Amino acid sequence: MAARAIEAAGISTLTLSVLPAYTRAVGAPRVAGLNYPFSRPLGNPGDADGQRAILRAALRSLEAIDRPGGAVQLPFVWPESPAQARGKLKELPPIGKLLQQKPWLLLKFIRGETGD
Amino acid sequence: MSHSADEAVGRSETVVLTAPPSPDEIDRNLFMDFLTRKVMKGWMEHEPRPPEIPWTPLRKPLAECRLALVSSAGVALIGDPPFDQEGERRNPWWGDPSYRLIPRGTRTEDVRLYHLHIDTSFGERDLNCVLPLDRAEELAASGELGSVAPTHYSFMGYLLRPEEFLRTSVAAMIERMRAESVDLALLAPV
């Protein structure tokens, strides 16, 4: 993944992740985890204070991460319920439509295989 | 956002996790539907554990570092080619492996987001939700951060097979980051 390659090339990286377990599993060098919805990892449009706080907290966590794969969980709490927070897709992604039409392919998809 | 969150992270008792994550930790993200959770857990379980995690220690304090931002939200300047969504519609297992340059100072109105798996309206209302350029400038102005790089980057994160992306796009990003003396890259996947 991109963070690993950038780090291997001599540039330190930090990944701010709303799915830190997955990001850590794929071997990102430094992870700042955040329990926020997808599509807006820095928070809501127009919430400059919130966005700044997250960016600041993520960058400050660098001090604490002193070994490869180290991860910190940032303390921010999303104020809405998950149902309220769910973003809206304009339509189902192409893979979603395909898996609806051919549900037997879901197992392949879950296993990380591709269909072509 | 409350100040206490800022202080909490500044304190030395920040807990650093180093043990290998378990797929059950996926459940801690409350915002996924059942199917997405199942897929993510499946991907975690089938991910071969990377033998070694690359490591470049930060050579300077943050206040002297140059920062570049990277977003997987499919951000592109309005004048640049969009990410290829027709290609993905034709082959749902494929995702556009290209990348775009987002210059320092780019505003929300200068870009569009091209991504079929996320709600792009947030980033299109305020680019800082996915690529916090303005926020980074503020931290540099206050002295907490050394400087903001001249160039930032975006790609489209739906890449089931990332080999071409790594070989072409990421290699090009790295070259440019090196040329611009970037010390630190912050990636904020969507």
Rounded to whole angstroms, how far apart are CA atoms B108 and B90? 30
Q: B183 and B146 share a domain?
A: yes
Same domain membership, residue B78 and residue B31: no
What's the CA angle centered on A39, arms B152 and A1, to 5 degrees? 55
Q: Would residue B55 count as lying in a domain?
A: no
- Cα separation, B135 vs A48, in Å, equals 7
A11 & A35 share domain: yes
Residue B7 has pLDDT above 50, yes or no: no
Domain that holds residue A41: 2-80
My answer on whether A56 and A101 are in the same domain is no
Contact at CB, B129 and A64, closer than 8 angstroms: no
User: CB within 8 A of B76, min separation 6: which ones?
Assistant: B82, B83, B100, B111, B112, B113, B114, B154
Q: Same structural domain for residues B46 and B98? A: no
Complex confidence, ipTM: 0.95
Q: What are the E-state strand segments in B41-149?
A: 66-71, 75-77, 99-103, 111-113, 147-148
Q: Looking at the structure, do residues A23 and A41 belong to the same domain, yes or no?
A: yes
| Candidates A44, A52, A88, A114, partner chain B, best to mutate (most B CBs within 10 A) | A52
> Which amino acid makes up residue B139?
L
pLDDT tens-place string over residues A11-57: 999 999 999 999 999 999 999 999 999 999 999 999 999 999 999 99
Compute φ and ψ for A70, nearest 5 degrees: -65, 145
Determine the Cα–Cα distance for residues B147 and A18; give it in Å rounded to an integer: 26
Select from B160, B161, B187, B159 the least CA-distant residue to B173.
B187
8 Å CB contact of B21 and A82: no
Question: CA-CA distance, B144 to B138, in Å (whole number)?
Answer: 9
Closest Cβ–Cβ partner in A2, A36, A93 for B70: A2
List of residues 6+ apart from A61 with CB closer than 8 A: A14, A30, A32, A72, A74, B9, B14
Residue B159, domain member (yes or no): yes
Segments forming the whole domain that contains residue B46: 22-50
Q: What is the pTM of this model?
A: 0.92
| Residue B68 bridge partners (DSSP) | B185
- Do A19 and A43 fall into the same domain? yes
Q: Could you report the per-residue pLDDT of B78-123, keeping only the tens digit for each? A: 999 999 999 999 999 999 999 999 999 999 999 999 999 999 999 9
Q: What pLDDT, on the 0 to 100 scale, is given for residue B23?
A: 86
Question: In this complex, which of A76, A110, A115 lies closest to B39 when CB atoms are compared?
Answer: A110
Query: One-letter amino acid identity for B142?
Result: S
Q: Identity (one letter) of the amino acid at A59? A: L
pLDDT of residue B26: 86
Q: How distant is the Cα of B61 from the closest Cα of chain A, in angstroms? A: 9
Instruction: Give helix B3-10 / helix A48-60 axis angle, nearest 10°.
Output: 10
Q: Are residues B36 and B81 in the same domain?
A: no
Q: Give the distance from residue A100's alpha carbon to the nearest chain B alpha carbon, in angstroms.
A: 12
Which of B17, B154, B158 is most worth mutating to test chain A (most A CB atoms within 10 A of its CB)?
A: B17
Determine which of A1, A62, A101 to mutate to test the interface with B (most B C-beta atoms within 10 Å).
Answer: A1
B143 shares a domain with B111: yes
B84 lies in some domain: yes
- Are A72 and A52 in a shared domain? yes
**Chain B residues touching A71 at Cβ < 8 A:** 16-18, 21
CB contact under 8 A, A57 and B5: yes
Residue B45 CA to residue B22 CA, distance in Å, equals 9
